[in-house]
Chain A
């Protein structure tokens, strides 16, 4: 087994009267165990210049890495929009199948669990055709 940790810190000195400081570290285990996840796509990078809907991770695909992702496992997906923020109006919509999750602006990142059920692809749609680069990584069982 491998030991992979994901740590987050959320901090602000002025969003509330008292400083906000949230931190957590989790070890990425397989579902219901203390055994670490041992499979990953590695860090990948995708460059695109389209405002069309694009599949980033094709769940249930017959072949390739996606086929190996166990449905309803303890899979995690990291995605980062590495573009500069610019004027703050450009973003990439991240979707699960047809449902929008949210917007990743330039510099934003996210870490979510992923059911990887058949057809529950992780997709994205950019707000315009500006060249955009996403980095992503899947930890899975």
Chain B
């Protein structure tokens, strides 16, 4: 097992009358365990062309009903640039230049028969770049994916 921690700090001296200083830290554990950490990770950097909704993180049967966590950061610097993050047909929201998100992910929907199947009612995390090509960094911390058998095996 591995020990991976995710920590957040939210701060502001002028959003509220009193200073905001919120912090939280968590260890990324496997489902149903008290001290066994997630031990697999995919960490990527990608350029996302504009205008098309892409599968960023592909669903997989092995990712279903388990503890997985996703980090996405938009590295663009033009403040008008953004990406739209969605799952299935539901738009979660927009990440603008410099923004990041971190959230749990459970491949909950039904179409998990094949990771190479791009159709159907799946839980893949999707992304659309708007305004300009988006440069993003993203990571998936997980407990194992379904691997695709090579077509020429």
A→B interface (CB under 8 Å): 2-16, 20, 22, 24, 26-27, 29, 31-34, 36-38, 40, 42-43, 72-76, 78, 80, 85-89, 91, 93-94, 96-105, 107-117, 120, 137, 139
- A3: chain B residues at CB < 8 Å are 12-15
Q: How large is the interface on B (under 10, 10 to 19, 20 to 34, 35 or more residues)?
A: 35 or more
Q: Is the interface of B mostly helix, strand, loop or mixed?
A: strand
Q: CB within 8 Å of A: which of B1-58?
A: 2-16, 20, 22, 24, 26-27, 29-34, 37-41, 43
Decide if A31 touches B22 in the complex (CB within 8 Å).
no
Decide if B94 touches A72 in the complex (CB within 8 Å).
yes
Decide if B100 touches A13 in the complex (CB within 8 Å).
no
| A12-B4, A22-B71, A22-B139 as given contacts; A2 in contact with B12, CB under 8 Å | yes
> Is B134 at the interface (CB under 8 A from chain A)?
no
> Is B149 at the interface (CB under 8 A from chain A)?
no
- B29: chain A residues at CB < 8 Å are 85, 88, 105
Decide if B2 touches A101 in the complex (CB within 8 Å).
no
Decide if A13 touches B106 in the complex (CB within 8 Å).
no
Decide if B8 touches A109 in the complex (CB within 8 Å).
yes
Q: Closest chain A residue to B73 by CB distance?
A: A24
Partner of B34, one of A10, A24, A34, A88: A88
Decide if B12 touches A137 in the complex (CB within 8 Å).
no
Give a binary string over B56-86; 1 marks a CB under 8 Å from any A CB, 0 the rest: 0000000000011111010000011010010
Complex Cα distance, B3 from A13, in Å, reads 7
Decide if B104 touches A94 in the complex (CB within 8 Å).
yes
**Shortest distance between the CB of B97 and any CB in chain A (Å):** 9
Known: A10-B5, A85-B34. 8 other contacts (CB 8 A): A12-B5, A22-B43, A36-B15, A99-B87, A102-B70, A105-B29, A109-B102, A113-B92
Decide if A43 touches B22 in the complex (CB within 8 Å).
yes
| A88-B32, A103-B67 as given contacts; A6 in contact with B103, CB under 8 Å | no
- A36: chain B residues at CB < 8 Å are 15
Decide if A112 touches B93 in the complex (CB within 8 Å).
yes
Q: Closest chain B residue to A16 by CB distance?
A: B41
- B38: chain A residues at CB < 8 Å are 15
| A26-B99, A101-B105 as given contacts; A8 in contact with B34, CB under 8 Å | no
- B71: chain A residues at CB < 8 Å are 8, 10, 22
Decide if A120 touches B90 in the complex (CB within 8 Å).
yes
Partner of A100, one of B8, B14, B79, B106: B106
> Is B88 at the interface (CB under 8 A from chain A)?
yes
